[in-house]
A and B are shown apart, each in its own frame.
Chain A
Amino acid sequence: MKRMSAKLKKTLAAAPLWVWMVCFTIIPMLLVVYYAFSDGAGGYTAENIISAATNSNYLKSILISFRHALMSTAVCLVIGYPVAYFLSRMKTGGGFVILLFMLPMWMNFLIRTYALKSIIDKGSLLDNLMVSLGFDSGLLINSDFAVALGMVYNFLPFLILPIYTSMLKIDERVIEASRDLGAGSLTVFRRIYLPLTMPGIVSGITMVFVPAVTTFIIPQMLNNKYMTIGSLIEYKFKQEVSMEGISGVGSALSLLLMIAVIIIMTVVNAVDKDGDTAM
């Protein structure tokens, strides 16, 4: 009897949590699915999802977004991994320097990105430099380079922090042992650092890749030549007036995006054996 009541108590304690999650996580997600298949008059239609999956303009947007994200994630990883390594190996002041890396996030990212734009915009210092080197003016802005720069600039700290955290957990003695046993730097990296920092790498990549695929703010500011998937959804919901601010095609695109993100996360997490993404 007592065990039963304890169990009941536990269930009751979890109830408010579940009510919240159902209302504000599950139902909103189901609404995306619902409107993706709704014709706006209460009927079912597959038109939205077919249009989202086959329209060549939409596919182009999706491809561009993934290209931007892959590029920026790779650059972040190449730049950020050594940073995390150096910071974790610092005898003193590592904590302070990591704070220096995090501090920029305390200025509104829009205004920082806007300032970044003013550095590479037409007629800027860097642009003039490019012109004096014989390139055309306005080569930097509205390019893949500009978007990658903006994304790396904004997301780099999010990649450094989890990798830094997992580096700190590495026992120095393990590295010493491997070196004593004759391992070279490359072997130490491949056999010790890489596997032991994998959870950090995975959560770092996740924290960069997903926002990089889906953001519409950075591409809209730095490269107005293309429409990314984020811009497209934003356009469908905010610019194109449809049934009271709800867009069927927009929902279908969001659904596809959601599925794509889930697939990517599953693949990425499969690399991380524990499946316990370290924050």
Chain B
Amino acid sequence: MRRSRRPAENETGKGGPYPQMKNIGRNIYLGLILIFLYAPIVLVIIFSFNSGDRRGIFEGFSLQWYEKLFQNDNGLLESLGNTLLVAVCASVIATVIGTYAAIVICRMTPLGKRVTMIVNNIPMLNAEIVTGISLMMLFTFLSIPLGFGSLLIAHVAFNIPYVVLSVMPRVRNLSTSTYEAALDLGAPPAKAFAQVTLPEIMPGVISGLLMAFTLSLDDVIISYFTSGSEFITLSVKINAMTKRTVPLTVNALSALMFVAVFVLLLLINFRKPSKNKNNAVQAAK
């Protein structure tokens, strides 16, 4: 673990002659980068309240874009529904397969492990566009119609490597002895897995699931090639809109989604201490 800097270091001047000044410089630097990262987001949110329909000129405050959004203007809500459906299904399936894969890979011989990891990493390292067109060609080759099914398979395929990478370290650190102890005590393998192995690798599984969900939610390129024209996700729809002009309803939707995530993160941060307490109480029992 990282230890906090010893006060002696600043006294001898080795941490920089003016540590206070250094902090100011650091904060200005980080602040500028954050402004760069957040300026477009702030603009998106501000213009979602524009009473006019242009970006760049704010004509007054209005909620008209939010109203239009909920009247399903441009079918945005429908695409959002599609996106969420694919993201939820794909991330859950990818997490199950990826976790299974991580466990299997960890038990392989060094050579098998190496080869499997190389193949596993291909979709992650490959250019998204190549993954996209290669899957599109597969679906065309097998005469699978492009739509929800093809999109789901594509998303699962590009999500799995991330889940594997996220679960692997946990599996590697897993002590096999507890699992074997459970077996020796008469637990059936499935039960031993569910009650001993799974809780231990759970943090990796959860972060893999979240990563897969996020990637699915945000994916444009692979979806663009594998979704066809019937089942359109939000990103693909917005991408098509950017060729002309993007209506401000998209801003309204993006603002809502961003705020939702923000609130969710705050809630998770506030819930954490109580959860730890529960665990502690349970452990004490």
CA distance in complex: A221, B239 (Å): 9
Distance in angstroms from A259 CB to nearest chain B CB is 10
Q: Is the CB of B130 within 8 A of A24?
A: no
Q: Which residues of A contact B9 (CB under 8 A)?
A: 176, 179
CA distance in complex: A83, B32 (Å): 11
Output the nearest chain B residue to A279 by Cβ-Cβ distance: B165
Query: Within the complex, which residue of A10, A114, A172, A257 is in contact with B242, where a contact is CB–CB below 8 Å?
Result: A114
The reply to whether the CB of A130 lies closer than 8 angstroms to some CB of chain B is no
Distance in angstroms from A215 CB to nearest chain B CB is 7
Q: Is the CB of A110 within 8 A of B29?
A: no
Q: Which residues of A contact B137 (CB under 8 A)?
A: 28, 31-32, 35, 246, 251
The reply to whether the CB of A267 lies closer than 8 angstroms to some CB of chain B is no
Q: Which residues of A contact B107 (CB under 8 A)?
A: 10, 13
Considering only residues 221-279 of chain B, those with a C-beta below 8 Å from chain A are: 221, 224-225, 234-235, 238-239, 242, 246, 250-251, 254, 257-258, 261-262, 265
Contact with B along A188-223 (1 / 0, CB 8 A): 000000000000000000100011011111001100
Output the nearest chain A residue to B9 by Cβ-Cβ distance: A176
Q: Is the CB of B133 within 8 A of A25?
A: no
CA distance in complex: A260, B214 (Å): 28
Contact with A along B1-38 (1 / 0, CB 8 A): 01111100100001000000000001001100110111
The reply to whether the CB of B104 lies closer than 8 angstroms to some CB of chain A is yes
Query: Within the complex, which residue of B37, B100, B235 is in contact with A104, where a contact is CB–CB below 8 Å?
Result: B37
Q: Which residues of A contact B97 (CB under 8 A)?
A: 17, 20
The reply to whether the CB of B123 lies closer than 8 angstroms to some CB of chain A is yes
Task: Give the secondary structure class of B's interface.
Answer: helix
The reply to whether the CB of A168 lies closer than 8 angstroms to some CB of chain B is yes
Output the nearest chain A residue to B261 by Cβ-Cβ distance: A106
Distance in angstroms from B4 CB to nearest chain A CB is 6
CA distance in complex: A17, B137 (Å): 22
Query: Within the complex, which residue of B116, B122, B133 is in contact with A237, where a contact is CB–CB below 8 Å?
Result: B133
Query: Within the complex, which residue of A28, A79, A115, A246 is in contact with B135, where a contact is CB–CB below 8 Å?
Result: A28
Q: Is the CB of B134 within 8 A of A31?
A: yes
Q: Is the CB of B133 within 8 A of A79?
A: no
Taking A214-B127, A257-B127 as given, write out 20 further A-B residue pairs in contact, using a Cβ cutoff of 8 Å, ordered by the A residue number. Answer: A14-B108, A17-B101, A24-B157, A28-B138, A83-B30, A83-B33, A108-B257, A110-B238, A111-B246, A114-B242, A118-B55, A123-B56, A179-B14, A234-B129, A258-B126, A258-B130, A261-B125, A261-B126, A265-B125, A279-B166
29 contacts between A and B (CB under 8 A): A13-B104, A13-B107, A18-B116, A20-B97, A25-B157, A26-B119, A28-B137, A32-B133, A86-B30, A99-B265, A103-B261, A106-B258, A107-B41, A108-B235, A108-B254, A114-B246, A115-B40, A115-B41, A118-B43, A118-B55, A124-B56, A172-B3, A214-B130, A216-B221, A217-B221, A234-B224, A237-B225, A257-B127, A265-B125
Interface residues of A (CB under 8 A from B): 10, 13-14, 16-18, 20-21, 24-29, 31-32, 35, 79, 82-83, 86-89, 91, 97, 99-101, 103-116, 118-119, 121, 123-125, 153, 156-157, 168, 170-173, 176, 179, 206, 210-211, 213-217, 220-221, 230, 233-234, 237-238, 244-246, 250-251, 254, 257-258, 261, 265, 279
